[in-house]
A and B are shown apart, each in its own frame.
Chain A
Amino acid sequence: MDHPQDNPETVRRRPADASIELARVAVAERDLTDLLTHEDIDRAQDRWKVATARVEGKRVMPFGGLRVLWLLVGPGILVFLGENDAPSMLSYAATGSRFGVGFFVPFIVLTFLMGFIVQEMTVRLGAVAHRGHAELIFDRFGPFWGFFTMADLVLGNFLTLVTEFIGVRAGLSFFGIPPSVAIGGTLIVVAAAITTGRYWTWERITMGLAIFNVLFVPAALLAHPAWAQVGHALLHWTPLPQGSKSDILFLILADIGATVTPWMLFFQQSTVVDKGLQPRDLSAGRLDTLLGALLASVFAIAAVLATVPLFHHGIRAGEFQAAQFAQALEPWIGHAGSALFALGIFEAGIVAAIAISTSSAYAFGEVLHTGHSLNRPLREAWPFYSILLGSACLAAGLVLIPNAPLEFIILMVNVIAVLAMPPALTLLLLLVNDDEVMGNYANGRWANVAGVAVTVLLVCAGLGYGLATVFPRLLGG
C-alpha cells in the first residue's frame, strides 16, 4: 500500500481514511509529540471544552446544551454580521430613503434566506473536509479555475476593504474625529485582534464588536416606523418600487451583494476549519448560521426603517455617505438617533475590515500551503498575518489619499460581489456534491434545488441589470 507521504499530490482516497492511517503510523512510531503543533494543541483545547460541555450538559438538562452552543457558535454569526458592513448598511439606507417601506423589506429577508442556504454548505464542507475553500478548489479543480476564483476574491475583497475604511472614516467624521485618527485606530484594533495568537480569543473579540450592529435598531425605533405598513410589506411585498428600472435593479443587486458574496464562502469555511468543527457539530453550525442570518436581517431592516423619514420628506439620498445620512436624519430621529446611525456605520466597517482581511489571509495561506491559522503564533505564521495586516493597511492607505476615486469604489463594490458570485456558487455546489470529499454529507436533492435556484436568481438579476444598463429603454426607462 502506498504511504500518504510518498506522493501527496495523488492521494485520492477519502482524507479521513488516509490521515487515520497516518495517525496510526505516527502512534506506532511513538512520535506524537513531534506530530502535534501549537495549532493542534490550541484546537484540541477548544474541542476539549466542547467535549466536557457535552458531558456536563447532559446532567443539567434542559439548558445544558446552551454551553455547548455557546462554545460552537461564531463563524455563522461573524460572517453575517461581518457582511452587514459599511457599504451594505449604506445600501440598505439608500433603499429606505429611496423607496420607503415596501417591496425591499421582504426582499432583504429573502436575500438572507439565500445567504443561509449558501453558507450552510460551507459549514458542512469545512466540518467534514477540514480544509478551507480555496484549498479545496485548487486541489479538486486545479490552479486554472483556482486562480480565476482567487482573482475574483482578491479584487472583491480589496475593494470591499477600501469601502470599510471609507465607512469607518465617514462614521467617525460625524463626531469630528480626523480621518487619520479613525483609520489608524481601526488598524490598531485589527492588529490587536489577531495578535492574540488564538482563534478563540480572536473570534470572541470580533463577536463582541459585531454585536454592536444592533445600534441600527434603536436608530430605527427613533424613526417611529409604521409597524402596520412593515407587516403589510412583509406579507404582500408591496408597494412595488417606482422609478428608473435601472436604478431599481442597481439597488436590487446592491442589496443582494450586501448578503451573498464570495468572501463569505471563503471566510466561513476557513473559520469552521480553524475552530475545529466536526461533523457531529453540524447542528450547532447550522444554528449558528441561522442565528447570524436572523440577527443580520433584523439589523438590515432596521437600517432601512431608520432612513424611511428621508423618503417621506422627499430628500434624495442616493449618493449620501455615512456622515451625510446621519446628518440628514438628525431633524427626524434626533441627535442621539443620528449618532447611533453614524456609530453603527463605524462598527460595521471595523468588524468587516477584520473579517474580510482575515478571509484574504486564509485563502492565500491555503493556496500557498503556508501556515494559515489564527491559532498559530506570529513568528510561526508571519506570511499569514502579514497578508492579513498588509491588505488592511493598503486599503486604509488608499482611503487617506487625497482625491482617490472612493465614490467609484463604493458604487461598484456590492454589484461586483453579486456578479462574481455565480461561478463561486457553481464551484461550491460541485464541491458539496463531491462524494470523495463529502461522503455521506454530500448535498441532498432539496439542498441542490435551493443552491441552483440561488445561482439562477443571481445570474438573472445580473443579466437584468446589464440589459437595463446597456438598453435603458428596454425595460421602460
Chain B
Amino acid sequence: MNQLQSLPDVQLTEDDPGANGERISLEQSEAALSVLEADQLVAAKQRTRFGRRKLSLSAKVLLWGLRIYVVVMFGIVLMSVLHALHTGH
C-alpha cells in the first residue's frame, strides 16, 4: 500500500475507497467517517443540541430595543410607501 500522506485526521492511501474518485459506499463506513468530523454526522446532530444560553440583562435590553426599532421603522416604511403609492410618486 502506497502511503500518500498523513493528514491530521485522515490516513489517505491510493488504495482507499474514494481516493481515485470512486464513490464511497455505505459498506465503507470507516472511510466516510475518516473524512467527516464527528459532529458533522446527521446522527450526532440529531442526538446532541446546544443548550439554552442565559442572556445577560444588557443583551436582553439591546435585543428588545432593536425589536422595537424594527417595528417602528417597519411602520414608517409602510406609511411612506402607502403615501408614495397614493400620490402616484
Chain A: residues with CB nearer than 8 A to chain B?
Answer: 4-5, 8-12, 15-16, 18-20, 22-23, 26-27, 32-33, 35-37, 39-41, 43-45, 47-52, 54-55, 58, 129-131, 136, 139-142, 145, 148, 152, 276, 278, 280, 369, 405, 407-408, 411-412, 415-416, 419-420, 422-423, 426-427, 430, 434, 436-437, 459, 462-463, 465-466, 469-470
Contacts and interface: CB of A to CB of B under 8 A. Distances in A.
Given A11-B48, A32-B30, A131-B45, A466 B73 contact: yes
Contacts, number: 187
Contacts of B70: 152, 419-420, 422-423
A395 B37 CA distance: 38
A278 B5 CA distance: 19
Nearest to B36: A44
Nearest to A405: B85
A37 B48 CA distance: 17
B72 to A, nearest CB: 7
A152 B73 CA distance: 13
Nearest to A10: B51
Contacts of B4: 55
20 contacts: A22-B38, A22-B44, A32-B29, A36-B29, A39-B42, A41-B32, A44-B36, A45-B18, A48-B24, A51-B35, A52-B12, A52-B19, A130-B37, A139-B50, A278-B37, A416-B77, A430-B55, A466-B72, A469-B76, A469-B79
Contact of B24 (A16, A37, A44): A44
Given A9-B51, A16-B38, A19-B41, 19 more contacts: A8-B49, A9-B49, A11-B51, A19-B48, A20-B38, A22-B43, A23-B41, A23-B44, A35-B41, A40-B40, A40-B41, A45-B24, A55-B4, A55-B5, A141-B53, A145-B63, A419-B77, A420-B70, A430-B55
Interface in B70-88: 70, 72-74, 76-81, 84-85
- Chain A interface SS verdict (over half): helix
Given A4-B48, A420-B70, A466-B73, A51 B39 contact: no
A54 B77 contact: no
Interface residues of B, number: 57
Contacts of B19: 48, 52
Contacts of A19: 38-39, 41, 44-45, 47-48
Contact of B47 (A22, A39, A278): A22
B1 interface: no
A462 B51 contact: no
Given A20-B38, A131-B45, A141 B77 contact: no
A408 B48 contact: no
A436 B53 contact: yes
